[in-house]
Structure 1
Amino acid sequence: MNRYFNLFTVAEGVWAAIVVPGSGALGNAAIIDLGDSTVVVDTFSLPQAAEFLRGAAEELTGNPVKYVINTHYHGDHHYGNQVFTDSQIISTDMTRDFLIKEGTPEAEVWQSGLQQVVTFLEKGRKAAKDSRLQTALTNEIADKAALLEAVPGIRRVTASLTFSDKMVVHGSARSITLLTFGGGHTESDAMVYIEDAGVLIAGDLVLSRTHPAMLSGNLDNWARIIERIGRELAFSKLIPGHGEVTDRSSLDEMLSYLTGIPEYVRQAAASGEPEEYWLARGVPAPFTEWEMSHMFDWNFRWLYQQFKQEFEVEQ
């Protein structure tokens, strides 16, 4: 047992490692048994959590982790890469290029930035009146505090093998397909499709009743990618980047969010009322009960400023 994640059997030889909120692990991971080798998809935000992930993968499959796949460049999905020193790490070309170009910040600078974020989040929690928002901020603060402590020991390990559109990894018992339909959540998002098991590992492209982070994404492309997933991939179970194991219903839920929230904010920006007036109304239905509700605040502010600028240009 560990305090970072819980393991769930999704299909024969496929497991989801669903993070414990506030533990610091932050982004979900997955384990796949290929028969003669093992695959891990994403490696959490903390190397300490990745150590447990590696141990679980080897115990479940009886084989060392041969491949590690990173779905995108956000740190909560790859900071644990350093634990898998004997594995081949795979990502899209663009994800690797982005991480190399961005470089690794100095520990002191990184920690200073994280401390500022924690201070900002604590102020938000004190001001929050909604219990769901208070819980979300409490978990986010705990996640950031854990990362802050871990920073001196984190070193960036990027992919040694990349692909541009599609890659197939073969094992003795099954093959898996690595896919990218382009960038939606980030400039480049990968998925892992396990056709024989009817499972899709979606990274942060598709979440399970959890507010997504829109700020680094292209919303139009994101929606088109989800529509394409629905058309082209046959699966019944979905392992999301955040939230619980789900199914195809999350495709429509994500589409509803990616189209509905921007339209809601557009109307808010056109109303002439300030951001705080609208944020005081809370999260609109049907997303009221979704997890990580603090993301709605961030998404709203980001979209609101974009629409206000558009309206000013038009005038």
Structure 2
Amino acid sequence: MNILRFSFMLVTLTFTSFPVFSAPLKNYLYTSSGNLEKIKPLLIRPDIDGVQIVYNWNILEKQKNQYDFSEIEKDLEYVNKLHKNLFIQLQDRFFSPDAKNVPYYLLNEPVYKKGLVHQYDNPGENKPIASGWVAQKWNPEVQKRYQKLISELAKKFDGRIFGINLPETSIDIDIKKDTTGFTCEKYFNAEIENALFTRKAFKKSHVVQYINFWPCEWNNDHQYMSKFFALAEKNNIGLGGPDIIPNKKGHMKNAYPFFHQYKGKLGLVAMAVQEPTLTYTNPQTRRPFTKAEFTDYAENYLGSDIIFWSLSSPWLDRQ
């Protein structure tokens, strides 16, 4: 299957349209597969509407063209019995040195150039930099495999899951030492293509692209952020991000102002409060942000429809 190179100004997709999500803000839990029985007391709460589960690429594709979606099927059955919704996150980047969680063939067949590239991450406030890996989706051969996985997922789960989200746009690699053919433009184009491909494949379930930062860009100086938000509105691609940190300077120079600008215009906005997010403090109170502060900012400034909450969120222990 050839990967089409999409021109931003010319892209138009035909799909089953959704109205802009206008229900009150929904609370979802954020967890990993196989954890549902353990968190059942939280999941059955009336103030929890569903769960977002992260699935690594190598769990879903055991060998080349041999797909195993049994974990999703099991989780979906469990969630359905509780009358909750399932959001799946397709994970292609990993945040520890030993986590190379892509299929074995990507790491070993020469055409994929080892499939992954080393990246760095700063997971929270006052935390040491951690190293990890990200799939080379700017490599056309890797991208073909990624899109094939998305296509197979859509065949099984479109309309059965509430939504699928693609992971954050932020990556931090050593461009000077790169041997994979990475450029910021190639990466941006690949993220556009993958989001559009996912939207076309999933005609019934919601599609969300996590968007926070772009490599090589600050304050929209390459117009990556403005172009992607416009494209998302045009093609009914939901947007979101892994961190709700009210008025955080770095975010205010990147995605946050665009979420505010497009408030009420996107099909779905789904933001997360993950474990690193909980390490940030409100500079006014000098205390960790409260649920009310996260929720107010998410809903009233960012225009969020859903918050995916870490199981470590203190408010989950108080009710």
RCO higher in 1 or 2 (8 Å CA, sep ≥ 6)? Answer: 2
Q: Same fold (TM over 0.5)?
A: no
TM-score, normalised to structure 1's length? 0.31
Structure in which a larger fraction of residues adopt helix: 1
